[in-house]
Amino acid sequence: MNTMIKNADILTMDDDFSILKNQVICIEEDKIVYIGEDEPFFFLPNRIINAKNKIVMPGLINSHTHCAMTLMRNRSNDLPLERWLQEGIFPIEANLTYRDVYCGAMLGIAEMIKSGTTAYLDMYYIHEASLEAIANTGIRANLSYGVSTSSRVKELGKQGAEKYCKNFLLSNKKAMKGRVNTSVEIHSVYLVDEPELVLSSQMAKETDTLIHIHLHETQSEVENCIKRYGMTPLQVCAKTGILNNKVTAAHTVHVNDEDMLLMKEKKVIPVHNPSSNMLLGSGFADIPKMIELGIKPALGTDGAASNNTLDMFKEMHLASLIHKGYKMDSSAINAQQVLCMATSSGAKALGFDDCGIIKTGMKADITIVNTDSLNMTPFYDPVSALVYSARAADVDTVLVNGEILMKDKQLTTIDEEKVKFDAAKSAARLYSTN
Ligand SMILES: [Zn+2]
């Protein structure tokens, strides 16, 4: 299928941050094959998208979530992280079935596509159910699999689960025409013991996949780790070989100067989750300082149970404002830096080197945003408009791998009403047993 986007004002998100006006984008199958002012004679489109008066940008990338936790949206609020997990979330998760994870993932994916997100990094259970949802919807994702925290441990035993994990990581790497990637999940240094941390590190090396971990999220996580290991969680990661892999670390709220230098040296990609960190009272990650040091953070929503949406526009808005307020400095972070976190840096956090920017040769993961809403009028600077004024409802069209997943605000691969009905039914059953 050949797709042409006409009259496109493109925010490329490449290194020089070009904004190209009134362009034609040609997409052959899953790839961008041409960007220019004129329609090329060699290209015969099967379909044409008119992007007049809209912004064409790379799809947003949600670099840390637990997609199927949409089922637990608003189930447990106003509690600190430990009580939120132990009292609100774990008892429900203990009863999750394949069907529940599928319905929760479908709901999360529908919400993400509608709000302009084209890819996400997921840490959850019953991965096969998530894979089915990804296959059916067309979104891009990286699924993280825990060596022994997987839901297969009971059934297969520890060794069997390790073998299953390795097989899952290898067989789903670059699956579904490159839409799926895999990574090793380490939930956290506080839930996973030291031998397991070493094992996970080796597994990542053997399978050449990145590691996805929650790190330095709360003050108590760091204090308890120092009591247990005599060092911070990041230092434990260095000791156990984790940092010798590519690491995408969610939160990184409570990091001291030494930890931050370690992150820089080992090229750890921190994922900023401002909603979750504020909702759970965890604190403020010093993202401006990390950027100043040359670290390139990504952005994520975390699960919908601690956000409580999967809306990356809301997340960009918060990321752009909280640091200015907290530091009493309106230049602490700018809109361009926040957009990079949500696009090009996100692609790196997910281990995809062929999306996150709009350029010839890259995958066609594209979000097209209307500029004619009340909240976007008058329209001048697209960067400011996207970060400070845009809402999820302004998203008009979404493409992943060259496929149109939303057109004129209508999802093309998902029956929205059915998804809502099925998810509500799953949630009702889960809540009735708790
Ligand atoms: Zn999380």
Angle of helix 194-207 relative to helix 153-171, nearest 10 degrees, comes to 30
What the block records as the tokens of 146 is 């825990």
Banded pLDDT at 218 (limits 50, 70, 90) = very high
What the block records as the tokens of 434 is 């708790």
Q: For residue 43, how far is its CA from the centre of ligand 1 (angstroms)?
A: 44
Rounded to whole angstroms, how far apart are CA atoms 43 and 24? 11
Of 21, 52, 368, 24, nearest to 33 (Cα)? 24
Q: Residue 16's pLDDT is what?
A: 85
Cα 312 to Cα 76, 353, 354: the distances in Å are: 21, 21, 21
Q: Residue 434's pLDDT is what?
A: 61
Angle at 253 between CA 249 and CA 256, to 5 degrees: 100
Residue 361 DSSP SS3: coil
Q: For 314-340, what is each residue's pLDDT tens digit?
A: 999 999 999 999 999 999 999 999 999
Q: Residue 151's pLDDT is what?
A: 62
Q: Residue 360's pLDDT is what?
A: 98
Q: Residue 432's pLDDT is what?
A: 87
Angle at 21 between CA 57 and CA 179, to 5 degrees: 25
Q: What is the DSSP string of 234-272?
A: HHHHHHTTGGGS-EEEEE--S--HHHHHHHHHTT-EEEE
Q: Residue 295's pLDDT is what?
A: 98
Q: For residue 29, how far is its CA from the centre of ligand 1 (angstroms)?
A: 34
List of residues 6+ apart from 272 with CB closer than 8 A: 285, 287, 297, 298, 299, 300, 319, 341
Of 298, 296, 330, 332, nearest to 315 (Cα)? 298
Q: Residue 150's pLDDT is what?
A: 64
- The pairing of strands 31-36 and 298-299 is unpaired
Per this entry, what is the length of the chain? Answer: 434
What is the rounded average pLDDT for all residues in the chain?
95
Rounded to whole angstroms, how far apart are CA atoms 229 and 17? 43
Q: How far apart are the first and last CA of the chain?
A: 48
C-alpha dihedral over 183, 200, 247, 314, to 10 degrees? 60
Q: What is the DSSP string of 154-196?
A: HHHHHHHHHHHHHHHHHHTTTHHHHTEEEEEEEEETTTS-HHH
Q: For 155-205, what is each residue's pLDDT tens digit?
A: 777 888 889 999 999 999 999 999 999 999 999 999 999 999 999 999 999
What the block records as the tokens of 99 is 């069907």
Of 334, 328, 255, 261, nearest to 295 (Cα)? 261
Q: For residue 25, how far is its CA from the centre of ligand 1 (angstroms)?
A: 36
Q: For residue 54, how far is its CA from the centre of ligand 1 (angstroms)?
A: 33
Q: For residue 75, how far is its CA from the centre of ligand 1 (angstroms)?
A: 16
Q: For 272-298, what is each residue's pLDDT tens digit?
A: 999 999 999 999 999 999 999 999 999
Q: For residue 218, how far is its CA from the centre of ligand 1 (angstroms)?
A: 12
Q: For 145-156, what is each residue's pLDDT tens digit?
A: 998 766 677 777
Q: For residue 303, how far is its CA from the centre of ligand 1 (angstroms)?
A: 6
List of residues 6+ apart from 109 with CB closer than 8 A: 67, 133, 134, 137, 139, 414
Q: For residue 299, how far is its CA from the centre of ligand 1 (angstroms)?
A: 12
Query: What topology is assigned to 2-58+364-411 in CATH?
Result: Urease, subunit C; domain 1 (2.30.40)
Q: For residue 62, how far is its CA from the centre of ligand 1 (angstroms)?
A: 12
Cα 165 to Cα 80, 126, 152, 248, 390: the distances in Å are: 31, 12, 9, 19, 40
Q: Enumerate the CATH 3.20.20.140 domain ranges in the chain, comma separated.
A: 60-349
Q: How many CB atoms lie within 10 A of CB 283?
A: 16
Q: For residue 3, how far is its CA from the centre of ligand 1 (angstroms)?
A: 36
Rounded to whole angstroms, how far apart are CA atoms 274 and 282? 10
Q: For residue 306, how far is its CA from the centre of ligand 1 (angstroms)?
A: 8
Q: For 408-420, what is each residue's pLDDT tens digit?
A: 999 999 999 999 9
Q: For residue 283, how far is its CA from the centre of ligand 1 (angstroms)?
A: 15
Q: Enumerate the CATH 2.30.40.10 domain ranges in the chain, comma separated.
A: 2-58+364-411
Rounded to whole angstroms, how far apart are CA atoms 18 and 47? 26
Q: How many CA atoms lie within 13 A of 433 on its CB side?
A: 13
Q: For residue 16, how far is its CA from the centre of ligand 1 (angstroms)?
A: 32
What is this structure's pTM? 0.97
Of 310, 333, 326, nearest to 388 (Cα)? 333
Say which CATH architecture domain 60-349 belongs to.
Alpha-Beta Barrel (3.20)
Banded pLDDT at 80 (limits 50, 70, 90) = confident
What the block records as the tokens of 19 is 């904004």
